[in-house]
Amino acid sequence: MIVSSTQADPSKDSATNTDALQNSPFLRACRREPVPYTPVWLMRQAGRYMPEYRAVRERTTFLELCKRPELAAEVTVTAAKRLGVDAAIIFADILLILEPMNLDLEFAKGEGPVIHNPVRSSEDIEALREVEDISALDYVYEAIRQTRYALPRDLPLIGFAGAPFTLASYMIEGGASKNYIHTKRLMYTDEAAWHEMMRKIARSLPRYLNAQIAAGAQAVQLFDSWVGSLSTHDYRRYVLPHTRAVIESITPGVPVIHFGTGTATLLEAMREAGGDVLGLDWRISLDEGWRRLGQDKAVMGNLDPIALFTDRDFVRRETKRILNEAGERNGHIFNLGHGILPETPVDNVLALVDAVHELSARR
């Protein structure tokens, strides 16, 4: 059971608590400092593969779960404690910010997110509201406050948001897409309207992320899950300035994780966009990706999520391989190359966390 933040003991915010968090392996790795073992957390670590999560979901819809702080906090804390990971990530969704931007969002059963009034023209972009009043997302901040209170005092909490391109694509496509036809057509045929839309998103996101930080998040992640659909030229022309604007506006001193999938061709450009930690998916080896990004950046990754559908021996071998690729360098955070899939065996997830801790501590 999660205790409401209104019942929180003020001592939970003491200097001792802050020191414990800042000295955690996760935040030390974000700063590329020495760690006693490689920290690990997993994208979608609170999800349908866990029976505890499914039990909560049976009582409510996905969107209601996101909007009920006590439930969002419960699934966040349960997953972090059950898995023994080195950071929790708040349970939410990257599309929650779309509602205060004047979009009609629904999570349709069996279909995923649906935007019933997609953005397809310059007139639609003009009607798009910039998020200036962050109180529209108070339920996210309250979930963070309750989660922060319930977590161990030395376990960091990650806040997050979708990156400008991925959010824009959802807005334009109206849901999931394979080819991003509407998105790219608008981008190519009305560049002025495209940049206006991206500026509205890029001005809204720091307000949202900084409010998460103020509520109790120790780091934030920017998810650019769809940006791998772009060429390097298009990324630099249509996306990079807006992503950079978001990252540069995050509260100073708070680590920013910049994550994308299918981005092996974009790594140098993503580095230019910014971030303290760059996410690597499984399509590129960790050592090659880190070499291209440079040793002055921390990296996160990069086990293929499908590896968790094998057995413990294979998971352990792949874990060892990735740790060997990281070598003795400071700044590696172990993660999957993307999120945990719903059918993933929980025992293999537990085996992965144990393997990361055990094998890296031997070094």
Active site residue 44: yes
Active site residue 234: no
Encoded amino acid at 177, one letter: S
Strand partners, 106: 114
Give the DSSP H/E element, type plus range, for residue 223: strand 219-224
3-state secondary structure of 265: coil
Which of 141, 149, 170, 238 is the catalytic position?
Answer: 170
Which of 37, 53, 86, 93 is the catalytic position?
Answer: 93
Which residue in this structure is represented by tokens 């953005």? 119
Which of 28, 32, 44, 145 is the catalytic position?
Answer: 44
Please give the C-alpha separations between residue 233 and each of 193, 239, 248, 265, 266, in angstroms, as whole numbers.
19, 10, 22, 10, 9
Active site residue 13: no
Residue from 82, 19, 18 nearest 46 by CA: 82
Which of 31, 48, 153, 271 is the catalytic position?
Answer: 48
Encoded amino acid at 104, one letter: D
Residue from 298, 315, 299 nearest 307 by CA: 315
**CA separation for the pair 179, 261 (Å, rounded):** 15
Which residues contact residue 200 at a Cβ distance below 8 angstroms, ignoring those fewer than 6 apart?
101, 125, 128, 129, 130
**CA separation for the pair 194, 3 (Å, rounded):** 44
Active site residue 57: yes
Please give the angle made by the CA atoms of 199, 221 and 173, to the nearest 5 degrees. Answer: 50
Which of 31, 57, 271, 292 is the catalytic position?
Answer: 57
Give the Cβ contact number of residue 152 at 10 Å. Answer: 13
Active site residue 68: no
Please give the C-alpha separations between residue 344 and each of 83, 161, 307, 339, 340, in angstroms, as whole numbers.
13, 24, 9, 10, 7
**CA separation for the pair 41, 356 (Å, rounded):** 10
- Token pair, residue 358, equals 């055990």
Q: Catalytic residue positions?
A: 44, 48, 57, 93, 170
